[in-house]
Structure 1
Amino acid sequence: MPSVSQQWLLLLLISTVLTVFARADLPGTWELLVQNAGLASMHTAVTRFNTVVLLDRTNIGPSRKMLRRGHCRKDPYDAVLKLDCYAHSVLFDLQTKQIRPLMIQTDTWCSSGQFLPDGTLLQTGGDLDGVKKIRKFVPCEATGSCDWVELADVELANGRWYATNQILPDGSVAIVGGRAANTVEYYPPRKGAVALNFLADVEDNQMDNLYPYVHLLPNGHLFIFANNKAVSYDHNVDKIVKEYPPLDGGPRNYPSAGSSAMLALEGDYSTAVILVCGGAPYGAFIERSTDTPAHGSCGRIIATSPDPVWEMEDMPFGRIMGDMVMLPSGDVLVINGAQAGTQGFEAASNPCLYPLLYRSDQPVGLRFMTLNPGTVPRLYHSTANLLPDGRVLIAGSNPHYFYRFDAEFPTELRIEAFSPEYLSPDRANLRPIFEGIPETVRYGESFDVSVSVPLSVVGVVEVNLGNAPFATHSFSQGQRLVKLAVTPSVPDGEGRYRISCVAPPNGMVAPPGYYMAFAVNQGVPSVARWIHLVS
């Protein structure tokens, strides 16, 4: 008879084998893109040149990437390095996987951002010398020399730390909230900051009104969610026009660390559905309790309904700091985060390695699918961004004030990509390929695209526009997916299909700017082509 130790060893072996098989059966695959990006990305954005801007913060000491010779940051007030020759932002080339250092001068800790209509990345606020700063990054080809520019002739009216940016129908940007900033202001500047008392009303002694969830509704109003409450805000007259019922389950914003996404806009674009999931129980942040279990409750509301109510459901896992990524298919990927604690330094434990797929068209109870787990904990200051090839870029995680590589959850410099099930080899024959698509389209314009598909098309090939949001602190600022009105695919006799599309009707449905256009056949997306939507 085996000894006790042998029995335990046998049980461990069986458990390990079962776990491996269970993981192998779950959808999705992981790929390590870069072993050392040089920095932990607190903020991440994908540009129309298929490069990725990774941005951390200054006043943090050495990163693991040097700036170009002669381009050191000089700051007599920096507590760590008065002369800082380390990069705190880089540009990552998706094709070559090369990383080029970028120069950022002021502190971008917990700042905000959004792309402008011309493709420029607007970046606002931060801490210390960055709290009122406005910065711009004009993307270029990976071989170019584009870099950050800090504007000297304009600054924020209020200091913005933990704020949220949202592009508006006219291409301007609303900058909402922040620590001790219960206001809204705009870029280009309109009339200074405008009081938003709603943010002050929902704040508690945990500050759960930070990084408010802001979504542009197709009626032109802003859906603003903070703590457990939401309002509809008319930015044209700076007035709250609707109050929504509170969402059960406690606070959802920073530092209680839920997440939110607006589901795909489609049909006549009159209906907008908002999803808010996860978070920590009230008090976890105050008590600095790293082992307080996160909850997995989700609320879903039709924000454009005259009588909106929250529909509740539960995720398979309690989760804080989960990132929500709108996939080209219209499903939502929930990834990264932890199952206990809150946002903040040294404040979370029990990493949640299992991504989830939220299938928005399914009934309650059948919407969530558990996906193949990763192996790298992604906690505080991690990000997730949709890539033009349909994968999701995963970066960052630094739950420490400085860079630490000797901790239980070390500063994470690796960049990974997660491939949803629609990219699995057994669906490759369904994947469309764009053969022709215009580079620029105008609102309401009819236009044709041409695609080829290895197998015959079954049903209608969708053409969906996804923008490139600014991902930070478990929320993708400005994220949206718009499904275009299309006609059934028509074969041209040469192995291609012609699809007639109608561009979004106005900037309320899709603000002006660059979008990733995906052809989607039976849930399988093409590699995107960038398209410029203009008025």
Structure 2
Amino acid sequence: MAGAGALLQWLPLFVLTFIVSSQLVIFAGAQLPGTWELLVPNAGVASMHTAVTRFNTVVLLDRTNIGPSRKMLPKGHCRNDQNDEVLKRDCYAHSVVLDLQTNKIRPLMILTDTWCSSGQFLPDGTLLQTGGDLDGFKKIRKFRPCEANGFCDWEELTDVGLANGRWYATNQILPDGSVIIVGGRAANTVEYYPPRKNGAVLLPFLADAEDNQMDNLYPYVHLLPDGNLFIFANNKAVSYDHAGNRIVREFPPLDGGPRNYPSAGSSAMLALQGDYSTAVIVVCGGAQYGAFIERSTDTPAHGSCGRIVATEPDPVWQMEDMAFGRIMGDMVMLPTGDVLIVNGAQAGTQGFQMASNPCFYPLLYRPDQPVGLRFMTLNPGTVPRMYHSTANLLPDGRVLIAGSNPNYFYKFKAEFPTELRVEAFSPEYLSPDRANIRPVIEGIPETVGYGEVFEVVVSVSLPVVGIVEVNLGNAPFATHSFSQGQRLVKLAVTPTSPDGNGRYKISCTAPPNGKVAPPGYYMAFAVNQGVPSVARWIHVMS
């Protein structure tokens, strides 16, 4: 399929492509689905880490030890660091917050180096941010979001730090609202926030999954509905009982070689639904083994995807191929349950200036379709999004695309320069011809408890046909081609009941427990015939 990927790079926009039985079939006369728009021409920073807050703002975060950005801090605000390689007195912002209503940028002050760090939202909506390089190696930070016209900023914790330094680690919120911090370079351990008495706990699996190109970094961690963690590193996966610190089961290795950093695949857990007893994990793309070791920029990426039902008694990986070989792709759970795969390159590996042939074409992964029909090629972008790029679902259903800096410092004259533009990709469900069936949430509780039955009121221009779904999507922490903590939960709903004047009542049942939906803020989407509403934030708590 590598040849098909090369062909698709040159297809005009009026060609619609599908993959059928691993063969490329071309249907002329239709424009590729999806549209692109430029939101911010200059965000000031290249966002290595991105997270959407419940106030409909977006936190963009880069490393600090990088020299001048293109956004100054407020007058009189500077960071003094005698160990900084470039600026001992740094008056430039390395984090900003974006107001989605106005697309305006406000600089934030970050003190310690957040290079290749990790993060996760806490139950109260605070963004927890952990680790990094140099003076950030053992650091814990918080960002308590506020209204867009507020002045919230980063807080560096001084009374508590990490037990082990964490560089390239992964965070996941747990059913009780605490956060587990998994792995990192030379850290084959886990620890927790709030810190626990036993500090860092050895997890030998991470060492077992490591090879000489470090493919256990940024492990893929998913909270399963049984409360255990699915942890994937290199090409291996286990179910980990974090409460008892034991491996519950080992999954078969995934064919196709390593997938984690720096081999640059990605992973998502598909929507939880029904009785919530089934969890399906997908892992897609990656570099050919040895590309990082050999510093090869032109070794073609592979396009294989593995899919496994992690909750089955004897699960096996089901393999399928994307239209393109892809590294550094971001997998974004859409409100419908489909997955957008966007960003990345078709050759090389993760690392500074170690990839080539940008992959401009997003893919839509439709998990309910049969093998061979799950991938749809979408309208290509024009901005290369290479190393250190991100993708995040927005409350209005668009996907925010930011970052890309495959250079050690900010460099604007290069084959793949530092990228300060912020874009949004609109899936086909936001096309004008579907506006009449797009629901509007007129009423929804601000807070719901586990198992609570509650009512959602929506309005729709055209009469509703069938059932309107209500789906909860959280706000993950996106970095290095993996959205930490990402999940989508489809609620049990009753048939839609007309309430007059185009309004409908939907009776919903909240998730049963924190294993299905950890406590915190979620974007609640009403979905009518595959078209999602603008989300309303809802606080799920025990």
Q: TM-score range by the shorter chain?
A: over 0.9
Q: Does 1:58 align with 2:51?
A: no
3-state SS in 2 of match to 1:429:
helix
* 1:250 matched residue in structure 2: 257
Rounded to whole Å, the distance in 2 between the matches of 1:17 and 1:462 is: 38
Rounded to whole Å, the distance in 2 between the matches of 1:143 and 1:391 is: 23
Shift of 1:22: 2.9
* 1:283 matched residue in structure 2: 290
* 1:67 matched residue in structure 2: 73
1:180 is matched with which residue: 186, 196, 199? 186
* 2:404 matched residue in structure 1: 397
1:59-458, aligned counterparts within 5 Å?
59-190=65-196, 191-458=198-465
* 2:22 matched residue in structure 1: none
Structure 2 spans left out of the alignment, 5+ residues: 1-7, 17-29
Q: Does 1:499 align with 2:506?
A: yes
* 2:21 matched residue in structure 1: none
3-state SS in 2 of match to 1:465:
strand
Between 20-29 and 259-268, the greater mean CA deviation after superposition: 20-29
Shift of 1:327: 0.1
1:21 is matched with which residue: 11, 14, 18? 14
User: Cα deviation per residue 1:441-497 (whole Å; 9 max; x = unaligned)?
Assistant: 000000001000111101000000000000000000000000000000000123200
Amino acid at match of 2:490: K
Structure 1 spans left out of the alignment, 5+ residues: 1-14
Shift of 1:432: 0.2
Rounded to whole Å, the distance in 1 between the matches of 2:14 and 2:400 is: 25
Do the aligned residues in 1 keep the contact of 2:338 with 2:364 (CA within 8 Å)?
yes
1:484-495, aligned counterparts within 5 Å?
484-495=491-502
> Measured at CA, do residues 200 and 448 of structure 1 come closer, stay the same or move farther in structure 2, by a change above 3 Å?
same
Q: Does 1:464 align with 2:464?
A: no
> Measured at CA, do residues 385 and 156 of structure 1 come closer, stay the same or move farther in structure 2, by a change above 3 Å?
same
> Measured at CA, do residues 17 and 494 of structure 1 come closer, stay the same or move farther in structure 2, by a change above 3 Å?
same
* 1:36 matched residue in structure 2: 42
User: Cα deviation per residue 1:405-437 (whole Å; 9 max; x = unaligned)?
Assistant: 000110000000000000001111110001100
* 1:7 matched residue in structure 2: none
> Measured at CA, do residues 447 and 18 of structure 1 come closer, stay the same or move farther in structure 2, by a change above 3 Å?
closer
Shift of 1:19: 1.7
3-state SS in 1 of match to 2:500:
coil
Shift of 1:515: 0.1
Rounded to whole Å, the distance in 2 between the matches of 1:508 and 1:534 is: 12
Rounded to whole Å, the distance in 1 between the matches of 2:329 and 2:342 is: 5
Rounded to whole Å, the distance in 2 between the matches of 1:291 and 1:127 is: 29
Amino acid at match of 1:22: V
Rounded to whole Å, the distance in 1 between the matches of 2:443 and 2:517 is: 22
User: Cα deviation per residue 1:65-111 (whole Å; 9 max; x = unaligned)?
Assistant: 00011110000111100000000000000001110000000000000
3-state SS in 2 of match to 1:198:
helix
Rounded to whole Å, the distance in 2 between the matches of 1:300 and 1:391 is: 25
Amino acid at match of 1:96: T
Amino acid at match of 1:187: Y
Rounded to whole Å, the distance in 2 between the matches of 1:59 and 1:253 is: 25
> So what's the TM-score if we normalise by structure 1?
0.96
Rounded to whole Å, the distance in 2 between the matches of 1:45 and 1:454 is: 32
Rounded to whole Å, the distance in 1 between the matches of 2:203 and 2:178 is: 19
Identical-residue share of aligned pairs (%): 85
User: Cα deviation per residue 1:183-205 (whole Å; 9 max; x = unaligned)?
Assistant: 00000011200000000011000
> Measured at CA, do residues 18 and 315 of structure 1 come closer, stay the same or move farther in structure 2, by a change above 3 Å?
closer
Do the aligned residues in 1 keep the contact of 2:339 with 2:366 (CA within 8 Å)?
yes
Rounded to whole Å, the distance in 2 between the matches of 1:91 and 1:494 is: 39
User: Cα deviation per residue 1:270-313 (whole Å; 9 max; x = unaligned)?
Assistant: 00000000001110000000000000000000001111100000
Amino acid at match of 2:87: L
> So what's the TM-score if we normalise by structure 2?
0.95
User: Cα deviation per residue 1:29-72 (whole Å; 9 max; x = unaligned)?
Assistant: 00000100001000000000000000000110000000011110
Q: Does 1:510 align with 2:503?
A: no
Rounded to whole Å, the distance in 2 between the matches of 1:22 and 1:496 is: 39
Paired residues, what number? 521
Rounded to whole Å, the distance in 1 between the matches of 2:244 and 2:161 is: 22
Rounded to whole Å, the distance in 2 between the matches of 1:412 and 1:346 is: 14
Between 492-501 and 444-453, the greater mean CA deviation after superposition: 492-501
Rounded to whole Å, the distance in 2 between the matches of 1:182 and 1:315 is: 32
Rounded to whole Å, the distance in 2 between the matches of 1:33 and 1:460 is: 34
Runs of 4+ in 1 over 2 A off after TM superposition: 15-18, 20-24
Rounded to whole Å, the distance in 1 between the matches of 2:357 and 2:141 is: 36
Rounded to whole Å, the distance in 1 between the matches of 2:460 and 2:269 is: 30
